[in-house]
């Protein structure tokens, strides 16, 4: 079984499981047998830890772009209602963004 996710951080003097995030201090100085025993016990306890699933996959991230586009269109439509004297330029921009009249 792969245990590459179990490390010793020499800066903090802690063993760390990079999958579950658990950390355990290593008391120093200590006899080498005690240190190795501590390492072995920690490794045994965490060798089966699984990496948590990522919070979002790329396809979910891409879906968010549509919401941003809809937000922009909504803001422009509100602008048209608030400033009717500038409707011509904004309506052209809105038509362009909606791609109205685009070639098939």
Sheet holding 14-17, edge to edge: 6-9, 14-17, 23-25
Q: CA-CA distances (angstroms) from residue 53 to 19, 20, 29, 50, 56? A: 10, 11, 38, 9, 9
Residue 66: pLDDT above 80? no
Average pLDDT of the residues in 75-82? 73
Report for 7-16, 52-61, 74-83, 94-103: range of highest mean pLDDT: 7-16
What count of other Cβ atoms lies within 10 Å of the Cβ of residue 55?
6
The whole-number pLDDT of residue 104 equals 52
Q: Tell me phi and psi for residue 24, to 5 degrees.
A: -140, 130
89-95-97-101 Cα dihedral, nearest 10 degrees: -140
Residue 95: pLDDT above 80? no
pLDDT tens digit sequence for 1-57: 788 889 988 888 899 998 888 999 888 888 999 989 999 999 999 999 888 776 655
The whole-number pLDDT of residue 24 equals 92
The whole-number pLDDT of residue 87 equals 67
Q: CA-CA distances (angstroms) from residue 29 to 13, 41, 104? A: 11, 18, 76
User: Does pTM top 0.75 for this prediction?
Assistant: no
């Amino acid at each position: 079984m792969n245990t590459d996710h179990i490390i010793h951080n020499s800066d903090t003097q802690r063993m760390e499981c990079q999958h579950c995030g658990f950390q355990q201090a290593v008391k120093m100085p200590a006899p080498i047998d005690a240190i190795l025993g501590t390492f072995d016990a920690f490794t045994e306890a965490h060798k089966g830890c699984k990496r948590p699933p990522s919070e979002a996959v790329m396809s979910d991230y891409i879906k968010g772009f549509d919401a941003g586009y809809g937000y922009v269109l909504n803001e422009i439509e509100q602008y048209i209602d608030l400033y009717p004297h500038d409707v011509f330029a904004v309506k052209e921009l809105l038509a362009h963004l909606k791609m109205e009249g685009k070639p098939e």
